[in-house]
Amino acid sequence: MNICTACGKGTLSPVIRSSPILVLKEMVTQNELEFQTVFVQNGKNKNGYEEHTATYYLAKEMAMVGLQLNSFSLANFYMHVPHAGGRKKVDRELAQACLDFSISEVVKITKDMKLILMMGAETVRIFTGYNATEVYGLTVRSDYFPTPVIIPAPNSDKLLRIPIGEMRNALGVFADQVKTYKQYIKIGEEK
């Protein structure tokens, strides 16, 4: 666990694999904080009963398009529960400092990435400048990290409360991009 340089809170570390493909979701969840890792698939609900998390259903949806969630690098945009801001100038400054910390950490993580599934409206807006609902399932770029192709998608943590069509569309495009990338790498290795 790392520390946020802005507020001193502990942060969840991303899971970086050898794959240059990143799945980036917006917010840290209570189950992730409890297990001190990102993308937890089982945990307790608000009533204390064991159940599958939204990440479990994301993994299931990814499997339907031929992808395995745990084969990609995984990260949250917010690596700790962000400050709400508030009315006081000091609270707003602290919230902005935490936001800036999160942005800088994601930029570091994405340095060697080629493809990013970016989930969550705020994350998409911050990094691409687009209104998320206008670009779900499309391929976009970012000035923060110009190399990777980004596929925006709805926030996976709300998967159980949102219409699933936009997520399935985005995952289908993501699967196509992963397949294209792997074919490109395979051709490059043959030469």
Per-residue model confidence (pLDDT) at position 140: 95
Per-residue model confidence (pLDDT) at position 171: 95
Per-residue model confidence (pLDDT) at position 45: 81
CATH class of residue range 2-190: alpha beta
Q: Which two tokens stand for residue 120?
A: 């969550």
Query: What percent of the chain is predicted at pLDDT more than 70?
Result: 97
Q: Which two tokens stand for residue 93?
A: 């400054």
Q: Are strands 115-119 and 21-25 parallel, antiparallel or unpaired?
A: parallel
Please give the Cα distance from 23 to 151 (Å, whole number).
Answer: 10
Mean pLDDT comparison of 31-35, 49-53, 151-155, highest-scoring range: 151-155
Buried b (16+ CB within 10 A) or exposed e, 29-45: bebbeeeeebbbbebee
Q: What is the reported pTM?
A: 0.90
Please give the Cα distance from 81 to 92 (Å, whole number).
Answer: 15
Whether residue 87 is predicted with pLDDT greater than 90 in this model: the reply is no
Q: Which two tokens stand for residue 155?
A: 């926030």
Mean pLDDT comparison of 28-42, 58-72, 172-186, highest-scoring range: 58-72
* Averaged pLDDT of the chain: 90
State the pLDDT confidence band at 158, using cuts at 50, 70 and 90.
confident
Contact assessment for residue 70 and residue 58, using Cβ atoms and an 8 Å cutoff: no
Of the candidates 119, 133, 127, 135, the one whose C-alpha atom is nearest the C-alpha of residue 54 is 119
The dihedral through the CA atoms of 62, 63, 69, 72 has a sign that is negative
Torsion of Cα atoms, 33 then 35 then 39 then 41, to 10°: -130
Q: What are the boundaries of each domain within the chain?
A: 2-190
